[in-house]
Chain A
Amino acid sequence: MSDIQWETVIGLEIHTQLKTKSKLFAGTDTTYGASPNSQVSLLEAAVPGTLPVFNEKVLRYAIRFGLAVGAKVIAKESRFDRKNYFYPDSPKGYQITQLNHPIVEHGLLAIQGDDGKQKKIRINRAHIEEDAGKSVHDKYAEFSGIDLNRCGTPLIEIVSEPDLSSAKEAVAYMKEIHTIVTHLGICDGNMQEGSFRCDANVSIRPKGQQRLGTRTELKNINSFRFVEKAINLEVKRQIKVIESGQKVVQETRLYDADKHETRSMRSKEEANDYRYFPDPDLLPVHIDQAYIDNEKQFIPEFPAAKIQRYVKDLGIKTDDANTIANDKELSLFFDDTVVLLKQAKAISVANILLGEYSALLKAKDTGFESQPIKASQLSGLLDELALGNISHKISKVVLEKLWDSDLTATTIIKQEGLAQVSDSSELEAIVKDLISKNQSQFQEYKEGNMKMFNFFVGQVMKGTKGRANPTQVKSILEKL
């Protein structure tokens, strides 16, 4: 064991598939899961004579991403370049990407660093490029099968500077990017389906050294958990290599989750010179400031900002704020409801959503997006509760009755006679009536048997079908 203190240097390249209806350069369907080669236009099959035409949605989504990460540069002129290499999943023999004039540059993303403090990670660039097709290797013995459905799907590749210092930070950064692209609605973030993919560039160097060590590129990591595992494995491996006197080889390595190791990929890029040059079938993309500004309206409030607002302005507990803010549908519903409240406080919305509402959703096997109760109905219910018009117990009953109904809480309470009885004289009368029918129990209560206290409260509640205001009942009993 050497005494060298090693520090880890990580940069991430994240490929996000954009949620457009059609592909990057042709009007081909992008829906996931189609049968092989059924979503391939002549262009994606690289039939001679076909030409690319640029999908505007892709440009707009890319601009939104740039705005969301505070990019210093959203290029008023960006270009497409060809990256030339031969591989079966890239039929043209080149991939169309952006090398020298990407659409977005110099963004910044805040994460929680290893030391617990906020750390700003620099995003070098985000550029547009087309996805490649897929190969299947296990179907045939001597052949690989090529499916071009994915070929030509628009991607944004997000490249960070090597500012990440640990696997944990890498995961935090990756999660943050994931949150941004999903909350922007530009990517569905489905890692199993390959809409969100991550490659990690990992190197180590002695602590304090400025020069970067040789890096390896880790590919094929399709979950947050695997990112952390793969990077940690690789760092360990590199330390071992160097401490045994050898050098780290610059190469691409695949993470094998089953074997719990990274292994060298027989490089498809051996000695590869991509011979980048501007694609002559496409022209420079020109946008002006007005075009960029128009996209600002599509930038939502991101979870980090939401959490701040929930905690500071609305007094929500941090944990609850986290839960709500990080769920796009839930937070939208929360915000919509809070805005309509008249008497109730925001915290009651949080409580009911995370409590009874969630429980009901689960029981009925549905999600927030199905909107079984409108925001206005929920706010109405909570206002009734805040006004003391119903008891807490009754509110649960009303909640269920609101499910998939068009009625308001007020109407249901009225129709079903669920209003809380708070009138003290009415309650006193009920209590006195009960006492007269239960003399011995009352005697025991007077002698200090607290069980009898609950008995009477319970009886009152039973007699009023739960509508009695329990606080009132208790204070009446206490006075007697």
Chain B
Amino acid sequence: MEFKGIKQTAKALANKDISVQELHDMYLQRQKKHAGDLNCFINDTPEIAKNQIQIAQKRINDNHASLLTGIPLVHKDLFCTQDIHTTCGSRMLENFVAPYDATIVKNLSDAGTVTMAKANMDEFAMGSSNENSYFGAVKNAWNHNRVPGGSSGGSAVAVAAGLVPIATGSDTGGSIRQPAALCGVTGIKPTYGRASRYGMVAFASSLDQAGVFARSAQDCAYVLSEMCGFDNKDSTSAQVEKENFSVSLGQSIKGLKVGIIPEWMDSLPESIKLKTEKSIQKLVDLGVELVEIKLPTAHLAVSAYYVIAPAECSSNLSRFDGVRYGHKCDNPKDLNDLYVRSRTEGFGEEVKRRIMVGTWALSAGFYDAYYRKAQKIRRLISEDFATAFEKVDIIAGPVAPEVAFEFNAKKDPVSMYKEDIYTIPSSLAGLPCLSMPIGLVDGLPVGLQLIGNKLQEAKILNVAHQYQQDTTFHKLVAEGYYE
């Protein structure tokens, strides 16, 4: 069966053209063939899948099915899944079995999805290339010598290779958008607070958001709608009505004002700039109006982010001490030894580096100069966006400054951090944003970022959807893989 989107699949399931088991098995075959090589999964979840397949099929048989009933997916291994390993790509949690389900996992499970595996990721969501996983790097389906992006590399590749139709990811500074762009799939991060963080292992609490990878904006809309919703177990959960983001798909975008940031465009390498301009021109062909906007403080976004995120993560990761769960060193000679060796052994290089930077940034005398200052810059950037949104409805721009790079190309951490220059600003402002495929450069995917104002997921999804109705870039499949 060729995958033609969730809607078609749901129809096929309803018509009994294919059963939930058969659909699952089709993907399982593909996974068996390719997942090991791509290294995009950490653990498979056959027991959960078995149970969920039964439930889904019954619903379909009883005519109680919804769009997502029976649809297979993988969860980024950052989300707690009850009774199944949740490793966060780290040795620290290699054998950790969460005693509960993350809220977004439960929401999707309730909607009828079938969990097939936990996807590989940069350790504790820190990275932009998925080279930081304890379980090994993930390969880009488009070129096995190149990175898929990160931190949600495994999820992006799984969808790109057609090993599952949808996958969850998380985005703190670009960890959904950037891998989506590098892998040629569509990925969306909702407004901060839309998706519950309960059960999502915390990296940078004020920035983390769960999101979706899929082959199309339409499918992202279906999944995101089920995933999001107010959760009283999360104090930062936005108290807004649950929304169906697919309802307005297809609404005319004529006259929609799209903001363009000249500084961002001009900073791109020529080939990517051309592709980006071409895609924006397509939007114009579809009826939008371009408006030049400025984000005067956005150039400080990466600097501010690398104060805030490490600071928060240095504190969030203090709970990993070998006592109540997770990696514990052998024969600790005293309490301090227990802590130090368990943590040093359990964490990888990048995680340790960020913990060190974060600890430093919060240390005595530095709080005002760094964390507090960075929070102020955050407000400035947020206000820049607010000002821009007085003139425009959405903002379009690049996702990443380059296509997928080679493994070990970025030894210097700062050069890796600069991968996120276009994605971090909207993360700091907590805005909904997505990446959609706009073609290939040197045989490697490029993405366009759409940023919406707060709670405007439906708007950016609709624009992406309209673009995808008129182009086929999102349907491009890497050679040897599946739609």
- Interfacial residues, chain A to chain B (CB-CB below 8 A): 42, 45-54, 82, 84, 86, 88, 91-94, 146, 273, 275-277, 280-283
Contacts and interface: CB of A to CB of B under 8 A. Distances in A.
A91 B363 contact: no
A42 B99 contact: yes
B335 A88 contact: yes
Contact of A280 (B201, B206, B359, B362): B206
Nearest to A88: B323
A145 to B, nearest CB: 12
B236 A283 contact: yes
B319 A53 contact: no
Nearest to B336: A86
Contacts, number: 96
A86 B198 contact: no
17 contacts: A47-B100, A47-B325, A48-B86, A51-B234, A53-B235, A84-B314, A92-B318, A93-B318, A93-B319, A94-B318, A146-B323, A273-B363, A275-B363, A277-B367, A280-B236, A280-B312, A281-B236
B301 interface: no
B315 A46 contact: no
B93 interface: yes
Given A49-B79, A93-B317, A93-B321, 6 more contacts: A48-B98, A51-B198, A51-B236, A276-B367, A277-B311, A282-B235
Nearest to B206: A280
Given A82-B315, A273-B364, A275-B363, A48 B371 contact: no
B371 A53 contact: no
Size category of the binding interface on chain B: 35 or more
Interface in B284-316: 311-312, 314-315
B197 interface: yes
B235 A52 contact: yes
Contacts of A53: 232-235
B339 A86 contact: yes
A94 to B, nearest CB: 6
Contacts of B202: 48-49, 281
A273 B236 CA distance: 28
B362 A49 contact: no
A406 B317 CA distance: 64
Contacts of B70: none
B43 interface: no
A108 B476 CA distance: 72
A277 B324 contact: no
B45 interface: no
A208 B102 CA distance: 62
| Closest 7 pairs (CB-CB, A-B) | A93-B318, A275-B362, A280-B205, A46-B319, A280-B206, A48-B201, A49-B199
Contacts of B96: 48
B98 A281 contact: no
A82 B371 CA distance: 13
B55 to A, nearest CB: 24
A51 B197 contact: yes
A283 to B, nearest CB: 6
Given A280-B312, A283-B236, A46 B324 contact: yes
A49 B102 contact: yes
A49 B198 CA distance: 6
A80 to B, nearest CB: 10
B454 to A, nearest CB: 16
B200 interface: yes
Contacts of B324: 45-47, 91
Contacts of B102: 49
A98 to B, nearest CB: 15
A166 B100 CA distance: 53
Interface string B83-115: 000101000010010111010000000000000
Contact of A49 (B80, B204, B235, B312): B80
B321 A86 contact: yes
A93 B315 CA distance: 7
A275 B359 CA distance: 8
Interface in B60-85: 79-80
Contacts of B323: 88, 91, 146
Contacts of B363: 273, 275
